[in-house]
Amino acid sequence: MDVVILCGGKGTRLSEETMLKPKPMVEIGGKPILWHIMKYYSSFGFNRFILALGYKSEYIKEYFYNYKVTNSDFTINLKPDSPAVFHNSGKESDWEITFIDTGLDTLKGARIKRIQKHLKTDNFHLTYGDGLSNVDLKSLVEFHKNHGKLATVTAVRPPSRFGEMILNSDDVDVFDEKSQMHTGFINGGFFILNAEVMDYLSEDEDCDFEFGPLQEIVNNKGLKAFKHHDFWQCMDNVRERNFLNKLVETGKAPWINWK
């Protein structure tokens, strides 16, 4: 099943980094958050990626174009037209990545529509290039196939902006830096869409996804929610970037399920 990742946004709330690079290339634990997302999908056997690019797309292209060289041992001969000989292959050697420039100011619906001709599967994953989770992708796929509707969205409980304290009289029993709120769900990304979703989209750059097309799909009873009660975190600002970094550095990143 293809994995489409939206990588075109400007990430203005992380401007200290995104002045120089696109938001999906902001590093978490020494690797771009985009790499973490792809690595997570790959851990479930999903290795064919389509990246819908926009802002500073050349940065993402160059990173992966040079990925084999920067992550392998090799020998070169300086004679003209002599190819490099690689002595090892990385764990990402099964990845197939298609890079599609979907425009600088294009909204998400149009970005999805513009990659349509590159899809090879009737159902495909869709996610954002700035969110991490430990959602069970195998169960998500089974849920989508069983309900037979047009689309599935992963519903998550939003992380609190503030820490949580649980009090017993004036004693603090729990002090949690980053807790989960216990009311309501939000769109956590990690969609599975049937290719027929494309009928709701257009290539016009002002075609959004969540506002308009997805609401129409809801009105037509075509969207189901896969409830995920465990870890989910987007990276919208410096505080959230630092939080994700800390999880990796302390060995407590819930999404890292690979060796």
Domain boundaries, the chain: 2-249
pTM: predicted TM-score of the whole model, two decimal places: 0.90
pLDDT tens track of the chain, all 259 residues?
999 999 998 878 788 888 889 999 999 999 999 999 999 999 999 999 999 999 999 999 999 999 999 988 999 999 988 999 999 877 898 999 999 999 999 999 999 999 999 999 999 999 999 999 999 999 999 999 999 999 999 999 887 665 666 666 655 565 665 555 555 788 999 999 999 999 999 999 999 999 999 999 999 999 999 999 999 999 999 999 999 999 999 999 999 998 7
Nearest-5° Cα angle at 209, 162 to 21:
65
Nearest to 130 by CA among 60, 58, 33: 33
Q: CA torsion, points 111, 114, 118, 123, in degrees to nearest 10?
A: 60
Task: Write the single-letter amino acid at 32.
Answer: P
- Give yes or no for a contact between 119 and 195, defined as CB atoms under 8 angstroms apart: yes
Residue 214: count of CB within 10 angstroms of its CB:
23
Q: How far apart are CA 127 and CA 80, in angstroms?
A: 42
The CATH code belonging to domain 2-249 is: 3.90.550.10
Please name the helix (run of DSSP H) or strand (run of DSSP E) that holds residue 154, with its range, or none: strand 151-156
